[in-house]
A and B are shown apart, each in its own frame.
Chain A
């Protein structure tokens, strides 16, 4: 078991190396002058482009460029992101908590609701409830998040003015954070507001979360609902359920204890996958709702050809995905005692 974890953790750097090399390789397609422009912070510096190319050796071979980046990265310097106007590392540190807050606020209700709907559909198979839930899943899978987001903004921000349209805090609340009135303990604005004893700031943060969370949930739920339904159906059709019924176990217990627990294995895999999906959704939702997370920054960095920024985000995203896959594999052993890793 321990050796399995160690082996997987050792594979992590290899995957990170491959991912970052892939990106440096792809980025070579961008003309060298344009890449150099990503190093400048104002128009006056544009005349220095040949110099920038020379000092940063942007015209060297891919391997040499990658080697340079790697040397710096291992020294803790991920470079400077023009998009954020800050070093990549401090941008990540400043923006990641917001993304984490957004994704976690989505993930928990998302999994709860989808698993509930999915197993409901399986138990009620072929009836109205099943059809209804299937329609929900199909509709949510075909709703583009940017369309849904724009519609939500038109209704709840533009027309009704019930919810704020941009950011994760309104100005007054943001000022209490900036002045140090509320201390940054966890980095999550909701929790920090509560810890600082400011319920109105907490409520403000929640209001800013509603639309992005809803958008992410709608888009992420389809796969989870469908997956839960399929694996529940499989479980409900198995012999041990027949045995349980023959023993006279109540239908409630059969669904809750016998079927759902066995269906959990697939659900865990899908939930893990949906975290990767949420990271992707965060790019759109953060851009749409002006949320100050890493996703919005990554989208901008990619659009501007800001190589250090994109590489920084790639490192973060790939690390998360690899660690989550490891966590899923470990979760299997807890849920299913038959699964063992040597």
Chain B
């Protein structure tokens, strides 16, 4: 392309080496994304250090006296299965007014809740939510896509019309209806998000399967006597899942936004749950400062907002660069 009088089109920098080199070399955006994501993963791992457990959480982790960080065993246990008490933001008083950053609550308090605690432990909520929803949707999406693409005919038609129906409706409203019906709470949010977001994945897998099953390796497997199920599961499915990688990375960033929106609309996690969306919902009342001090409550909106934004940005940058690197045209 570039050789022909195309002074306007510069040759694209080609990174030597494998896929990972192509992803990160000469690509500052990918590096920033990876750094942001690693930062949040680190925050998740170090949550008890960054925001020391209090009250019931201390008891749940068996912490004594002056201990600020749980012992190694309790730490490990808490990493694998965080006790519910630790995901409850400690509340100091019921003061209506937010408290500015001070010792004890370096990012301030809103409705008596320590904002730092909510943000640090809320990272766990966000990552747990993302991983769980994706595990469910990738499983359902691939199975439905595989079934539809491989069996074809009536099954395909029925499954695809089902996706049409779900697509004929703004996803957020469908999620709202589901959460309204199931009742609020993290588990129900996860169920609602999963029920709606497998659809896109199923369509991607289906179109991949339709392409792959016509390729030589499928015919080769068949000629070797492999059963239809074996061809579908062992040969076609692993190849069809590749294109999901980018979508999965992007979804990791966008799922907490949807969950936050639900909290913001009053259908989220129960009051006091360490969840970013809830902190924003609480901040909504403090948009206007007292007369003469317009930015008096800046910390209430700034920190939770920045946190969601940075988390989502990290995954988006990573996903975007991944899409560029996976694009065969860039090889």
Contacts and interface: CB of A to CB of B under 8 A. Distances in A.
Interface residues of A, number: 64
22 contacts: A18-B161, A19-B165, A30-B180, A125-B10, A126-B13, A131-B29, A134-B29, A138-B313, A138-B320, A139-B313, A142-B309, A143-B309, A144-B280, A147-B260, A150-B284, A158-B294, A233-B329, A283-B172, A298-B176, A303-B176, A305-B180, A321-B168
Contacts of B168: 15, 19, 318, 321-322
Contacts of B180: 30, 302-305, 310
Given A22-B165, A150-B283, 18 more contacts: A19-B165, A26-B178, A27-B181, A134-B29, A137-B320, A138-B316, A138-B320, A141-B316, A142-B253, A143-B309, A144-B309, A145-B261, A151-B305, A158-B287, A158-B294, A159-B295, A160-B294, A321-B167
Interface in A277-309: 277, 279-280, 283-284, 287, 298-299, 302-305
A165 interface: yes
Q: Which one of B9, B166, B284, B289 has the greatest number of beta carbons of chain A within 10 Å?
A: B9
B316 A284 contact: no
Contacts of A304: 180
Interface in A300-342: 302-305, 310, 313-314, 317-318, 321-322
Contacts of A18: 161, 165
Contacts, number: 163
B29 A135 contact: yes
A302 B267 contact: yes
Interface string A120-160: 00010111000100110111011111110011011001111
A27 B177 contact: yes
B125 interface: no
A29 B287 contact: no
B170 interface: yes
B118 to A, nearest CB: 15
A125 B287 contact: no
Interface residues of B, number: 59
A243 B9 CA distance: 15
Q: Is the interface of B mostly helix, strand, loop or mixed?
A: helix
B181 A157 contact: no
Contacts of B309: 142-144, 147
Interface of B: 1, 4-6, 8-10, 12-13, 29, 161, 164-173, 176-182, 253-254, 257, 260-261, 264-267, 277, 280, 283-284, 287-289, 294-295, 298, 301, 304-305, 308-309, 312-313, 315-317, 320, 329
A45 interface: no
B172 A280 contact: yes
B12 A138 contact: no
A256 interface: no
